[in-house]
Amino acid sequence: MLSYGDLKKGVVFVLEGDPWLVLDSGFLRMQQRKAVMQTKIKNLKTGKIVDRNFQASDSFEEAEIERQPAMFIYTSKGESWFHEKNDKSKRMSLKEDTLGDKVNFLKSNLEVIIIKFGEQVINVELPIKVEYEVVEAPPAVKGNTAQGGVKSVKIETGAFVNTPMFVETGDKIKVNTETGEYVERS
């Protein structure tokens, strides 16, 4: 069992039957009152982030989270499909609303980490930097480059990324999958 003092950044615990990840925490002491633990926590099933305070009387069960490598196959009818890295017959799917913005950066044969809570697949982690091909890029307009301007290009997954003016159709670029930002041209 975890006490409220154990809720440090990175800890995964069970609250109301769901696994939650502590993103940030700190003690708050107010005059004449008991200290509370202020936390920012993320529901690993829904992706929802909330601020919540816990008191000394609260206790929690540590969540049993399993991580395993998997490969992305395809997305169809609102579901993204994956298979275990070494066994293509063991498939699993996640709804697009669970994945959130990550669905914009999934491409065939991308290696990901599947997160399981018990036997249920609850989320997926993508590599931080992934290489994509630019499929559409507007031309750089002469005169716009003096200030180091940016333009929006379309990558092979259909997502749009802001890049420097020199990026052209057919270029390979690296994108940070957490922020959706351009990193470098490969």
Q: What is the CATH number of the domain that holds 108?
A: 2.40.50.140
Long-range contacts of 50-58 (CB under 8 A, 24+ apart): 53/28, 54/4, 54/7, 55/4, 56/3, 56/4, 58/3, 58/4
Same domain, 92 and 135: no
Q: In angstroms, how far is CA 165 from the centroid of its own chain?
A: 28
Range of the domain at 46: 2-62
Residue 97: its pLDDT value, please?
80
Q: CA-to-CA distance for 98 and 1, rounded, in angstroms?
A: 28
DSSP letter at 99 equals: H
Residue 44: its pLDDT value, please?
82
Please identify, among 109, 125, 141, the residue that sits at the C-terminal boundary of a domain.
125
pTM equals 0.75
Same domain, 31 and 81: no
Residue 146: its pLDDT value, please?
56
Residue 99: its pLDDT value, please?
82
Please identify, among 100, 125, 150, the residue that sits at the C-terminal boundary of a domain.
125
Q: CA-to-CA distance for 126 and 19, rounded, in angstroms?
A: 19
Same domain, 121 and 169: no
Residue 154: its pLDDT value, please?
95
pLDDT, tens digit only, all 186 positions of the chain: 888 888 988 888 999 888 998 989 998 887 777 888 899 998 887 778 899 999 888 899 998 889 899 999 999 998 999 999 999 999 999 888 878 888 999 999 999 999 888 888 888 889 999 999 999 999 877 665 556 688 999 999 999 999 998 999 999 999 999 899 999 998
Q: How many CB atoms sit inside 10 A of residue 37's CB? A: 21
Please identify, among 77, 105, 125, the residue that sits at the C-terminal boundary of a domain.
125
Number of domains within the chain: 3
Partnered with residue 131 across adjacent β-strands are 174
Same domain, 109 and 140: no
Residues 172/186, Cβ–Cβ less than 8 Å: yes
Which CATH number does the domain housing residue 52 bear? 2.30.30.30
Partnered with residue 123 across adjacent β-strands are 115
